[in-house]
Amino acid sequence: MDQIIAGALYCHLACSINDQPYLVPLSFGYDGEYVYFHTAPHGKKSDIFSQNSKVCIGFEREVSLKEDKNRACNWSFQYQSVIANGAIEEVTKIDEQVEVLDQIMKHYSDKEWTYPEKTLPKARFWKVQLQALTGKES
């Protein structure tokens, strides 16, 4: 499942408030235990997280359409996926925020990055310890 998560280009984060689900695709970082995100300083996700920290995260990779030119009901997808639950936590210490950005950038780039200090207050940083992972391959 670690390989599927590491190979996913993005993830879907699901959260809920007042029995109203909210789902959003996000870029992310992953260190084998936690998934890391950043968001705008204010917005719907942050509002939801402050009231309900329970989230579900979905990852998929190697997705392709499987066609059957003769039977409509035989169309399908080939894929590998992981779904995990967890509780989202805000990361507020500056040195830990830099680590969050490092994890996100490691997912997309082999380069080591530096971040201007003035950019850190322009975002909020989050982590989710993954629990109850399930995986599927089709």
- 82-131 confidence digits (pLDDT tens): 999 999 999 999 999 999 999 999 999 999 999 888 888 899 999 999 99
Which tops the pLDDT comparison, 74 or 17? 17
Q: What is the pLDDT of residue 73?
A: 81
Place 48 in a pLDDT band, splitting at 50, 70 and 90: very high
pTM of the model: 0.87
Domains and CATH numbers, the chain: 2-137 (2.30.110.10)
SS3 123: coil
Contacts for 40-47: CB closer than 8 Å, 24+ residues apart? 40/123, 40/124, 41/121, 41/122, 41/123, 41/124, 45/13, 45/15, 46/124, 47/17
Which tops the pLDDT comparison, 53 or 78? 53
Neighbours of 31 (CB within 10 A): 13
| Residue 15 in this model has a pLDDT that exceeds 90 | yes
Q: How many CA atoms lie within 13 A of 18 on its CB side?
A: 2
SS3 110: coil
Residues 6+ positions from 21 with CB-CB distance below 8 Å: 14, 15
Radius of gyration of the chain (CA): 17
Mean pLDDT along residues 72-82: 84
Q: What is the pLDDT of residue 74?
A: 79
| Residue 45 in this model has a pLDDT that exceeds 90 | yes
Task: Using the structure block, give the residue that is written with the tokens 């509002």.
Answer: 47
Question: Average model confidence (pLDDT) for the chain?
Answer: 92
Q: What is the pLDDT of residue 137?
A: 81
